[in-house]
Amino acid sequence: MADVEVWVADAVALADRAEPLLSAAEAERSRRYVSAAARRLFVLSRALQRLLGSARLGVPADRVEIGRRCRLCTAGGDHGKPYLEGAPGLDYSVSHAGRLVLLAWSPGCRVGVDVEWLDRRLDPALLGARTLAAAEQAGLDALPAADRPAEFLRLWTRKEAAVKLAGHGLTVPLAAVRVDGPTARLAEPPPGWPAEPLSLTALPVPDGYTAALATTASPRLALREVIDLRNGVELGPPAAGRATRGLPVEPGTTN
């Protein structure tokens, strides 16, 4: 077992307050977003990483260094799984969609998180190609057409959480990641893939979203809603109740 904390934050409510916490480079990048919704997600994601890093490391948020580790290249730059400089034992993962930002971290195991907006406009007939293994596709096809988009996205988040845990991202074909109930396996794992079996956990997010957590140990989960950013991260009670409160999605914003 390992302790895992997951923070859920609403970008529409919090992004304005998050803005002053960004580094100069992040602020510059945020100004280049054309979509206001995508910009808010970026701003809140980076601010949350800084605030939680600040609390963990005991340094001001603007002095937190977020590193990125790419599994495929040594070119450096702003890509690959994020990590906090100075906190080597801590693994974390971020995901954003619609108006939600999720951040999962653990001092005891590797983590990956993914959230998706339940986009009901997905065409049930097109779901699964290149993403699902044959047995997963058969299971999906057996469902009523109206239920397929949500089930597809539920599977997708589980697979994407796994590839984000490992740091490979979508360079690993999602069809190769076999979801079997609460576990994910790869028949031929690429270099750097964890030796441990991966545990998958559905996260209770607001209506309109689906989210999954992948971990290399069975998680002892604390789910927290971020309610303010003024004095560091102010958290709501660690209960699914607050986090499952319905938040309207922003149509047309899938990430």
Using alpha carbons, list the distances in angstroms from residue 104 to 91, 110, 148, 153: 8, 10, 27, 19
Instruction: Give the length of the chain.
Output: 255
Q: Cβ closer to ligand COA: 13 or 143?
A: 13
Q: Cβ closer to ligand COA: 2 or 101?
A: 101
Between CA 111 and CA 151 the distance in angstroms is 22
State the nearest-atom distance from the C-beta of 9 to ligand COA, in Å.
Answer: 12
Helix (H) or strand (E) holding 148, with range, is helix 148-166
32 touches ligand COA (CB under 6 A): no
* Total residues in contact with ligand COA, by rule CB under 6 A: 22
Between residue 183 and residue 242, which ones bind ligand COA under the rule CB under 6 A?
Answer: none
State the nearest-atom distance from the C-beta of 128 to ligand COA, in Å.
Answer: 17
Collapsing DSSP states into helix, strand and coil, what is residue 43?
Answer: helix
Q: Which structure tokens are listed for 140?
A: 């999906």
Between CA 102 and CA 224 the distance in angstroms is 10
Between residue 76 and residue 95, which ones bind ligand COA under the rule CB under 6 A?
Answer: 79-82, 93-95
Contact flags string 163-182 toward ligand COA, x per CB under 6 A: -x--x-xxx-----------
Any idea which residue has 């600040």 for tokens? Answer: 54
Q: Which structure tokens are listed for 12?
A: 């529409």
Q: Single out the segment in contact with ligand COA by CB under 6 A; choices: 42-50, 138-146, 182-190, 239-247.
A: 42-50
Positions touching ligand COA (CB under 6 A) are: 42, 45-46, 70, 72-73, 79-82, 93-96, 114, 160, 164, 167, 169-171, 255
